[in-house]
Structure 1
Amino acid sequence: MAFNKSTPFVPLVLTKAGWLVTLFVLVSFSVAGQTNRKYLVLLRDKASSPYSIDRPGQFLSQRAIQRRQKQNIAVLERDLPVTPAYVAQIQQTGARIWYTSRWFNAVLVETNETTLATIQRLPFVAGVEFNKSLANARLGETGRVASLAQAGSAGKFGAVEPLNYGNSLNQVTQIGADKMHQAGYRGEGMLIGVLDSGFLRANQLSFLKPLFDEKRILATYDFVRKETSVYEDDSHGLSCLSAIAATADNQLYGTAFKAQFILLRTEDAGSEQRIEEANWLFGAEYADSAGVDVISSSLGYTTFDDPASGYTYRDMNGKTALSSRAAQIAAETGMVVVVAAGNEGSGSWRYLSAPSDAAAVLAIGAVTQTGQRAAFSSFGPSADGRVKPDLAARGQGTLVGSPGGQIVSGNGTSFATPLVAGLAAGFWQANPRLTAAQVTDALRRSGSQYTSPDDQVGYGIPNFERAMEVARTYSQFLIYPNPFSDSQPLAVQWGDVQANTTIDATLTDLAGRVVWSNRYTPAGLAAFVLPPLNLSAGLYVMTLVAGDQKRSIKVIKQ
């Protein structure tokens, strides 16, 4: 459907499983001789917004609201949708509007340089992300269909080889997911969002038949083509999905094969442009609004088709790449974010990729059947010296499903990532009172080399039973990490306080001045995460009062 410049602004409103997503659609003419490109236009504020943080049901599903409430995570101004009046004014310039971003307060537009200059003169426009286009609009929109089952050499996502027969015993037992299944935790009731490049024929294959028969795919969306179907593009997402969701008896069982899923195509496998990072942002926001518990994303960004757009290793600090900033916010909304560290370990880049450098995510490396680092698995640390990757799982010779219906052997941190994402879902199912930050922390602490992490596999291979031991310690009083930072906010848990007990929390500096205070009445576990406060580095005192109980702890802001 096409519109000319005089066509009124019309939003497409999609409703699915109780949430609402608005996707803005407009097609416009371009100025003769100028190339249309895509830009992420940043806005100054959310003034005159019809939305309110006191009415989150306007823009978040009930499930998303409950996820925040359970973890005592406040709805912030950054969660509010972009002000519609601003979008309408940008639309009036003749630009094509693709999507809007709540978290970045931004609008993705397709336009030429003349119209972009007009947009940038609007009083509510702050600038353009990276001060440049994210993509040439003529490239990378159709993509290519590539079957991993037929790929014979390593490419963007790694390589796979067909097998006549195989089983997934090693990749499951290596992380203790077999014990998780035996305990009855297979992902029931958990919602996993998979962000990838396509799920070719996923709705037609026998190893995923129960997933579709039981209607556990709650939604799909393709942010590359702006359509709902994701089953006719690249097969990489299909293979990753199978590592979590497949049920092929005597061949392959996923680590959370009874979970529910949202499948989102954010990646164009036929190109490598920064627009894909913007799509990742939109996908993560969609997952958040739908109430996703765990994000699994086997995508990574380092260099691009346009060499001038590439990152350097110094940019892998968790704060520079667009996708890394998006992943950090996603984790702060109460989702466990599991991402691939990258397959650059034996190449010239060598190091991890965005968004795995984000502080709050679980970056996953790859190991062999015997637990040794796979040669291709990317190295850490992050550019600012944090332990990365966080964990590792079977990524060499991993059994996954192919679009031809076969069970095949694949190589890549891409396939290690969904194994851990399924483990996270089952572990959280077993410990529903935990917060996303605690799930992430427990899995790190369950690593096979937690006390001596390195830059190859981080804290090592996670394990369900060890993570369960860590979870038992959360019945105690915990405050972590200490020191804390803006990228790793302070989390508090008070296990001795009963549910529905009011907690008064106060943070003061050493002079006794109150820099933050709040009151919580947790319906479940007494836990909360300190919101972003832009505090100066130094020593502070956290004081907690619940009835006649009181705790005071010195904490350090880095």
Structure 2
Amino acid sequence: MVLNKYIAFGTTAPNKIAWLVLLLVLCQFNSFGQTRKYLVLLRDKVNSPYSVSKPEQFLSQRSILRRQKQNISILERDLPVNPTYITQLQQAGAKIWFPSRWMNAVLVEATDATIAAIQQLPFVTGLEFNRSLANARVGATEVQQTVSYTSDSFSKFGTVDTPLNYGTSQSQVAQLGADKMHEQGYHGEGMLIGVLDAGFLNANNVAFLKPVFDEKRVLATYDFVKKETSVYEDDSHGLSCLSTIAATVDNQLYGTAYKASFILLRTEDANSEKQIEEANWLFGAEYADSAGVDVISSSLGYTQFDDPTTSYTYQNMDGKTALCSRAAQIATQTGMVVVVAAGNEGSNAWHYISAPSDAVSVLAVAAVTQAGTRASFSSFGPSADGRVKPDLAARGQGTVIGLPNGQIATGNGTSYATPLLAGLATGFWQAHPRLTAAQVTEALRRSGSQFGAPDDQLGYGIPNFERASILADSFGQLLVYPNPFSDVQSLGVQWGEIEANVPLDATLFNTAGRVIWQNRYTSPGLAAFVLPNLNLSAGVYIMTLVAGDKKKTLKLVKQ
């Protein structure tokens, strides 16, 4: 959904990636009777024409380089769905909407008879949630107060030497230390942000985004609701969220990463609340991954649906149940920083965070006031399995935003806190390019105003660019986190003393000295890796790291 309707009150052609030809193809469909949408789960990727050794078949060069820089391997999970299976689903009478690489699944539209026949196919294992995803949603009204109007003329961007005239947006930018980030020359240049939302009404026409479009920094758009490329005629929620990152209006509103490039993806249907929107979120995240996005910003959340029998419970907010939460976790594992809204249910019966903010490795963002106190509507943590959630907080009450009529206004919601923080993450990563996505996430958490005493209201608190930068410098030494680790929270290793392209040999032993796992990593960036899931038993393990003449021995604990 978009919490309380949204988690707020208040183009150019896509990359020519081979798998997107399948993802975006329009298929003919002839059938009788009522049709519904189903996410059909497939058995395998056997006999696929794609190979992990040839990722250029289905990933952009930017996406491949993002993985290589972070020592992230191309997995079978990254391979597109077998085209033969898609053809057979189509021949069975289903309309093909989108395939999912990560879930090895295909979204189809079919009659009851057709879906029954499809479930008998030997390569089909079942249906996501064992039912149709075409259920439905409860909305609320966006609340915004106009505070000023934009003009047709624009002042030039600020420089490193001359601070920007943030005007009414000063407090929300300075609260994160993003003004200091801008003064140091980091505004998001060269970084790519994927925004997943409900639409970007009139974004290509409003004055406050004019530099973005004049400089052709919207690299691609796609609407997964309507299966078309345009995203500028639907809901305005995504536009307002985008404005907190990308707007440039002197003395009124500067976004936190206003010189970044963007991919704008519509995954949410503002007129209903259906689980199909979670599937759309999955497809949008996969699109972002393939296009080489660095940071995902998404102010969407899912708890309850129009069909109450399909709604989640708080116990489902465990990072493993909701489809969009599973998708968000995989997105982080491909090397993207994923920033999502915690939700606006703090004063409602639901009370808690929403999916996908319950995913382990995402940054779930709470809302605070100008004074830094929790906004009354901001959702509470922890996750159902007891992890710290939300992760961080940013200005979400009285946030300065842009509207589709060109006005500058204020709005309330974790929706607006989220892109503010996503812009901070973008500029911070730009300033520290050797970090991995996991390290960017960790540094921002550790920079939180209450990192030493996190709670279920603001998590680790309000992050800060300068504090995070100090932490990033300390990452130049050996960093192992978390320790103890678990199947849910994978172990990350970073050795900042190792020069680029120097092989790093990692070996894991049990306490009897038997080798459990070993691998060699060579990175053009920071020497870092994530220990794969080895289905280890709980206990103590020893890891050795060898790079040139340097050697480290670590004691690790698996929970």
Q: Give distance in 2, aligned partners of 1:83 and 1:536.
A: 34
- Unpaired runs of at least 5, structure 2: 1-11, 150-166
For residue 177 of structure 1, what is the amino acid of its counterpart? A
Q: Verify the 8 A CA contact 1:208 1:242 in the aligned structure 2.
A: yes
Q: Give distance in 2, aligned partners of 1:105 and 1:82.
A: 6
Q: Give distance in 2, aligned partners of 1:417 and 1:486.
A: 27
1:531 maps to 532
Deviation at 1:90, TM superposition (A): 0.7
Q: Give distance in 1, aligned partners of 2:273 and 2:28.
A: 24
Q: Give distance in 1, aligned partners of 2:488 and 2:185.
A: 35
Deviations 1:391-448 (A, max 9, x none): 0000000000000100010000000000000000000000000000000000000000
Deviation at 1:53, TM superposition (A): 0.4
Q: Give distance in 1, aligned partners of 2:535 and 2:105.
A: 22
What SS does the corresponding residue of 2:168 show, helix, strand or coil? coil
1:396 maps to 397
What SS does the corresponding residue of 1:308 show, helix, strand or coil? helix
Deviations 1:438-459 (A, max 9, x none): 0000000000000000000000
Deviations 1:479-529 (A, max 9, x none): 111111223211111122121111111112222232221111111211111
2:492 maps to 491
* 1:141-152 equivalences in 2 (<5 Å): none
Does residue 1:344 correspond to 2:345, yes or no? yes
Deviations 1:235-260 (A, max 9, x none): 00000000000001110000000000
Q: Give distance in 1, aligned partners of 2:513 and 2:115.
A: 50
Deviation at 1:18, TM superposition (A): 5.2
What SS does the corresponding residue of 1:304 show, helix, strand or coil? coil
Q: Give distance in 2, aligned partners of 1:539 and 1:24.
A: 50
Q: Verify the 8 A CA contact 1:18 1:62 in the aligned structure 2.
A: no
Does residue 1:115 correspond to 2:99, yes or no? no
Q: Verify the 8 A CA contact 1:171 1:398 in the aligned structure 2.
A: yes
Q: Give distance in 2, aligned partners of 1:68 and 1:50.
A: 22
Percent of residue pairs bearing the same amino acid type: 71
What SS does the corresponding residue of 1:193 show, helix, strand or coil? strand
TM-score where L is the length of structure 1: 0.93
Distance 1:26 1:200, change over 3 A: same
Deviation at 1:557, TM superposition (A): 1.8
1:147 maps to none
Could you say which structure has the greater relative contact order, defined with CA pairs below 8 angstroms and 6 or more residues apart? 2
Q: Give distance in 2, aligned partners of 1:438 and 1:333.
A: 13
* 1:135-214 equivalences in 2 (<5 Å): 135=134, 156=140, 158-164=142-148, 167-214=168-215
For residue 445 of structure 2, what is the amino acid of its counterpart? R
1:506 maps to 507
TM-score where L is the length of structure 2: 0.92
Q: Give distance in 2, aligned partners of 1:157 and 1:183.
A: 39
For residue 70 of structure 2, what is the amino acid of its counterpart? Q
Q: Give distance in 1, aligned partners of 2:181 and 2:431.
A: 9
Q: Verify the 8 A CA contact 1:159 1:412 in the aligned structure 2.
A: no
Deviation at 1:536, TM superposition (A): 2.4
Q: Verify the 8 A CA contact 1:198 1:237 in the aligned structure 2.
A: yes
Does residue 1:97 correspond to 2:96, yes or no? yes
Q: Verify the 8 A CA contact 1:497 1:526 in the aligned structure 2.
A: yes
1:37 maps to 36
For residue 49 of structure 1, what is the amino acid of its counterpart? S
Does residue 1:25 correspond to 2:47, yes or no? no
Q: Give distance in 1, aligned partners of 2:544 and 2:232.
A: 52
Q: Give distance in 1, aligned partners of 2:175 and 2:352.
A: 25
Q: Give distance in 1, aligned partners of 2:449 and 2:15.
A: 39
What SS does the corresponding residue of 1:339 show, helix, strand or coil? strand
- Unpaired runs of at least 5, structure 1: 1-13, 141-153
* 1:257-336 equivalences in 2 (<5 Å): 257-336=258-337
Deviation at 1:69, TM superposition (A): 0.3
Distance 1:285 1:103, change over 3 A: same
* 1:543-554 equivalences in 2 (<5 Å): 543-554=544-555
Q: Give distance in 1, aligned partners of 2:353 and 2:443.
A: 22
2:445 maps to 444
Deviations 1:101-134 (A, max 9, x none): 0000000011111111111111111110000110
Q: Give distance in 2, aligned partners of 1:507 and 1:301.
A: 39
2:131 maps to 132
Q: Give distance in 2, aligned partners of 1:215 and 1:24.
A: 25
1:53 maps to 52
What SS does the corresponding residue of 1:163 show, helix, strand or coil? strand
Q: Give distance in 2, aligned partners of 1:98 and 1:512.
A: 51
Aligned residues: 528
For residue 340 of structure 2, what is the amino acid of its counterpart? V
Q: Give distance in 2, aligned partners of 1:18 and 1:130.
A: 33
Q: Verify the 8 A CA contact 2:504 2:522 in the aligned structure 1.
A: yes
1:62 maps to 61
1:149 maps to none
2:153 maps to none
Q: Verify the 8 A CA contact 1:95 1:110 in the aligned structure 2.
A: yes
What SS does the corresponding residue of 2:263 show, helix, strand or coil? strand
Q: Give distance in 1, aligned partners of 2:246 and 2:496.
A: 34
Deviations 1:42-74 (A, max 9, x none): 001000000000000000000000000000000
What SS does the corresponding residue of 1:81 show, helix, strand or coil? coil
Q: Give distance in 2, aligned partners of 1:482 and 1:333.
A: 22
Q: Give distance in 1, aligned partners of 2:79 and 2:193.
A: 23
Task: Detail structure 1 runs of 4+ shifted over 4 Å in the superposition.
Answer: 154-158
What SS does the corresponding residue of 2:148 show, helix, strand or coil? coil
2:242 maps to 241
Larger deviation, residues 507-516 vs 75-84:
507-516
Q: Give distance in 1, aligned partners of 2:269 and 2:146.
A: 24
Q: Give distance in 2, aligned partners of 1:440 and 1:212.
A: 29
For residue 467 of structure 1, what is the amino acid of its counterpart? A
Deviation at 1:537, TM superposition (A): 2.3
